[in-house]
Amino acid sequence: MKLRLDDVAIPDDAEERAHGVAMAAFAERKPTPPQRRYWRPAVVVVAVAALAGVLASPPGRSVIQSIREAVGVKHSATALFGLPAPGRLLVNSSRGPWVVQQDGSKRLLGPYHEASWSPFGRYIVATRGNELVTMEPNGKVHWTLARPDLRLPAWGGEHDNTRIAYLSRSILRVVAGDSTGDAAGCADTVPAVAPAWQPNSLSVLAFATNGQVAVYDVTNCRQLFRRSPTPTKLTWSSDGKLLLSLSASGLRVYDLTGRVVAQDAPARDATFLGRTHNVAVLATSGDVLVGQRVLFRAAGLRQIVSSPDGRWLLLTWPAADQWVFVRVQAPHTIRAVSGINRQFGSGSFPVVAGWVGE
C-alpha cells in the first residue's frame, strides 16, 4: 500500500482534510490516549487510529476524493437548536453582532462591529464607524460617543459601577459606563489587541504596549507589572487572580505580581475553564486540551470558548462550517452544528465574543 500511494500526487491540503476524516470517527469513540509531553507538566494526547482506516482504503485518487468530502463531524445538527449549557452567546458576524439565547433563538443587533459583553452580560458595547455604542441585549441603544478610529472596546467593573476601555488610533482611552469622564488612559502606543479588565475591578486593566503585556491601575496610571512578549490575546480568570497571555512565542499565565505560573509553546487559542484556574488550550496541532486530557482534534479549528459553568467547550471550525460543543467531563459528549455561515449571514466566518451566564 505504501509503495502504491507514494506514486500518487498528494494535494497541498490533503493533511488538513485527513484530520477532518479522523475527527468524524473520533467524535463517535472513546479515546484511549498514549502519553507525550505538551503542556508543562506532562499531559496526555490522543493518537487518532481512524487515520489508519483512511490509509488502508483503496489507493489513488479515490483516497484523495474521500478526504476532500469528509470535513467536519459527520453526525451534526443542521441548525443551532439550543446551547448545551445555561447562558447566552454574543457572536460577531459580517452582518453585525447576534445575541443567542440558550434555547437557540437569536437576535441581530444591527450594523455594529467588535461587540463585547458588559460585566454579568447586562449590556453590550460595540463600534459603528467612529462611534462607540452601548446597548441592551435587545438592541436598545443607551448612548454613543464619537472618537476617531475606534477599536476593540472592553467593558469591566462592578455590579453598579463600570468602565469601558477602548482604542482610539494608537491611544488607550477609558470612559465610565454612563458615558462620563472619557479620557486618555496610560498608554499612547497600543497595538490592536483588546484590553482586559480584571473582574470586579474599576481600575486594574491589562493591555499590550511597546512589545509587552502591561497591567496598570488606570485610576492613577500606576504600573503593577510589565512582561514581554507582546500578547495577541489577554484574558483573566473569573476571580481576577490570574492573567492569561497568548502570544506568537508562547502561552503564559501570570499571577498578580507578574510571576509566570504556567507556560507552554504557542497555541491557536486558550481560555480559562469556567470559574476555575484550569486552562483549556487549542494547540497549533489542532489538539483541544484541558489539563491532562485531549478532548478533540481537528485541523483548522479557530476558537475555544468555555461555557459559564465550565462544563462545555465551544470550538469554532471555519473549514467545516461547524461549531463543535465538547463536554469537558466524562462522558465526553460531542455535539456539532453545521451551516454556521448560513445561520449568521454570509461572509467571513462568525467570531464568538463571549458566553455569559444568566
- pLDDT by residue for the chain (358 residues), tens only, comes to 333 333 334 444 444 444 444 444 444 444 444 333 334 432 322 322 222 222 223 333 333 233 333 489 999 999 999 999 999 999 999 999 999 999 999 999 999 999 999 999 999 999 999 999 999 999 999 999 999 999 999 999 998 899 999 999 999 999 999 999 999 989 989 999 999 999 999 999 999 999 999 999 999 999 999 999 999 999 999 999 999 999 999 999 999 999 999 999 999 999 999 999 999 999 999 999 998 899 999 999 999 999 999 999 999 999 999 999 999 998 889 999 999 999 998 789 999 999 999 7
Question: For residues 316 and 4, what is the distance between their CA atoms, to the nearest angstrom?
Answer: 36
Asked if 20 contacts 71 with a C-beta cutoff of 8 angstroms, the reply is yes
Q: Which cell is 82 given? A: 439550543
Give 99's strand partners: 90, 107
Asked if 240 contacts 233 with a C-beta cutoff of 8 angstroms, the reply is no
pLDDT of residue 292: 81
Cite the residue boundaries of each domain of the chain with CATH code 2.130.10.10. Answer: 88-356
Q: Which cell is 151 given? A: 477599536
pLDDT of residue 358: 76
pLDDT of residue 291: 86
Question: For residues 196 and 147, what is the distance between their CA atoms, to the nearest angstrom?
Answer: 20
Grid-cell match 497555541, residue found: 267
Please give the CATH superfamily to which domain 88-356 belongs. YVTN repeat-like/Quinoprotein amine dehydrogenase (2.130.10.10)
